Amino acid sequence: MAFSPKIWIVLVALGGYIFISRLRTWHRLRHIPGPPLVGFSKAWLLRKALGGRFHLDTAEVCEKYGSLARLGPNELVTSDPNILRRMAAVRSPYRKSEWYDGLRFEPEYDSMISERNEERHLELRAKCAVGYSGKENDYLEQSIDDNIGKLIHLLDTKYLSTSKEFKPVDMARVLHYLVLDIISDIAFGSAFGSLEADEDVSSYIETMDTMLPLIILLGTWPALAKIFFWKGLRRFMPKDTDSFGMGKLMGIGKKVVGERFGPDKKVKRDMLGSFLAHGLTQREAQTETLLQIIAGADTSATAMRATLLYLTTNPAVQSKLLAELNSTSISSPITDAESRRLPYLQAVIKEGLRIFPPVTGFMSKTVPTGGDTLNGVFVPAGTTIGWSPFALMRSEKIWGRDARVFRPERWLEATGEERSRMDGLVEMCFGYGRYQCLGKNIALLELGKVFVELLRNFEFQLVDPLTPWKNFNAGLFLQSDLWFRVTRRVPSF
């Protein structure tokens, strides 16, 4: 079919406009290196974000092109800790980018993590900070101990193998049950009961397997997020009356929070009780409760799985940890204070977080008005800069030639200023400055206990060392099939 001359003029003009627009976009950040053609479209960024190994793809970019590299028309990535601190400092002029719009778990409401208004974000942090610290939870440590005890009981009664019987256990799944029960128990005083049932009673795992790839897509493509959360489409969005998926989790949060209001309200000294005591409204509490579950469960579960995998595949490390535990008088279960006094245990925890940081979302910030000069490179205003935690935590320039080796001894060999520097770097797994994760202390408390209790009770043998697990990255990690043969350890500490 032949086009008329007018249509040809329109098509040529449109093509010329698109070409010039793309050329201008490329030109704006042309001085910052990156993979071929990333300055002209988001194709590379979208493909990698949905490919399941974004944590490694961005690390490879930083390794090849430098600690400040280009990933898209307006997107940069960095593995430079100084740039990350500059962007997240308390008085930094940088602001959250549109990437955070994709982290909105409910169509009409922002949680602390998705809120882009800085005043509102800081207000929510202030209301929640004491609750996350555990200072107003009389049973924080006891709740963690009780739920780890349920994990030990589950393994002991259902998954112990013998010379005559093989009962493999997917530790990826049961560790997820553990953290779900812990966070629900300390958040609103009642565990989901996944460990006792040995199943995902809240449907959380199935929900996040579906939702996380969508969340990372919306963050990478903010224009799609605007469409997705458009008011006209909200009747198709998850609702708290749903019997499955995100809606079911919203319903759980609404029910739990609702019990704290009205004439017959429950009053408890747990995290939710602290939130309300410090001014969180009922609607705010519903949203933050949902965030507690999502942020507190997946990250801790990943840290536990990865560290357990590295421990069980490094016999020398496991032997040193067992020797430290055997040579020290510790309680059963170990207390938080005791675990923090064990240098090798703490080195194992830090090394686990370093070698496999559990949060890999892009977390991009927007360069402020007037632009900024970073390491001698001018970056125009409006540019977004995300981070690559795997590039940072596995950088040979920062950690030495053996940066990709799981070696807890590096924490004991460092002294003084060097150790403080390393501690500061690994803490960036939890964010920095005004964006640091409020649940950091709870996560460290869990990690300080779980490996001791698992190793004092059991010996773990990977079923398939060549393919130890299924691991898909979607900002957080979707992990499964971490199969172990578990046998009883002769008690010695």
Per-residue pLDDT of the chain (493 residues; tens, 9 = 90+): 555 666 656 555 555 545 565 556 667 999 999 999 999 999 999 999 989 999 999 999 999 999 999 999 999 999 999 999 999 999 999 999 999 988 887 777 899 999 999 999 999 999 999 999 888 888 899 999 999 999 999 999 999 999 999 999 999 999 999 999 999 998 877 889 999 999 998 888 888 888 888 888 888 888 777 777 666 555 656 777 777 667 777 888 888 889 898 888 888 888 889 999 999 999 999 889 888 888 888 999 999 999 999 999 999 999 999 999 999 999 999 999 999 999 999 999 999 999 999 999 999 999 999 999 999 999 999 999 999 999 999 999 999 999 999 999 999 999 889 999 999 999 999 999 999 999 999 999 999 999 999 999 999 999 999 999 999 999 899 999 999 999 999 866 6
Does residue 155 sit in the same domain as residue 180?
yes
As for how many domains the chain has, the answer is 2
Does residue 173 sit in the same domain as residue 155?
yes
- Considering the domain boundaries, does residue 430 fall inside one? yes
Which residue, among 63, 25, 12, has the nearest Cα to 394 in the 3D structure? Answer: 63
Q: CA–CA separation, 284 vs 287, rounded Å?
A: 5
Does residue 14 sit in the same domain as residue 120?
no
- Considering the domain boundaries, does residue 442 fall inside one? yes
User: What is the structure's pLDDT at 246?
Assistant: 73
Q: CA–CA separation, 184 vs 175, rounded Å?
A: 14
Does residue 138 sit in the same domain as residue 168?
yes
User: What is the structure's pLDDT at 187?
Assistant: 82
In one-letter notation, the amino acid at residue 387 is W
Q: Which helix (H) or strand (E) holds 355?
A: helix 343-355
Domain that holds residue 6: 1-30
User: What is the structure's pLDDT at 17?
Assistant: 47
- Considering the domain boundaries, does residue 493 fall inside one? no
Does residue 23 sit in the same domain as residue 104?
no
Does residue 47 sit in the same domain as residue 25?
no
Does residue 1 sit in the same domain as residue 85?
no
Does residue 225 sit in the same domain as residue 288?
yes
Does residue 73 sit in the same domain as residue 185?
yes
- Considering the domain boundaries, does residue 35 fall inside one? no
What are the binding residues? Answer: 437
- Considering the domain boundaries, does residue 321 fall inside one? yes
- Considering the domain boundaries, does residue 376 fall inside one? yes
What are the binding residues for heme? Answer: 437
Q: Which two tokens stand for residue 382?
A: 């409006």
What is the CATH number for 293? 1.10.630.10
- Considering the domain boundaries, does residue 54 fall inside one? yes
List CB contacts of 281: < 8 A, sequence separation 6 or more.
Answer: none
Does residue 275 sit in the same domain as residue 150?
yes
Cβ 373 vs Cβ 31: under 8 Å: no
User: What is the structure's pLDDT at 22?
Assistant: 59
- DSSP lists the bridge partners of residue 78 as 68, 387
Q: Which two tokens stand for residue 298?
A: 């997946």
Does residue 92 sit in the same domain as residue 6?
no
Cβ 212 vs Cβ 474: under 8 Å: yes
Q: Which two tokens stand for residue 236?
A: 């198709």
Q: Which helix (H) or strand (E) holds 352?
A: helix 343-355
CB hemisphere CA count around 360 (13 angstroms): 31
Does residue 80 sit in the same domain as residue 14?
no
- Considering the domain boundaries, does residue 289 fall inside one? yes
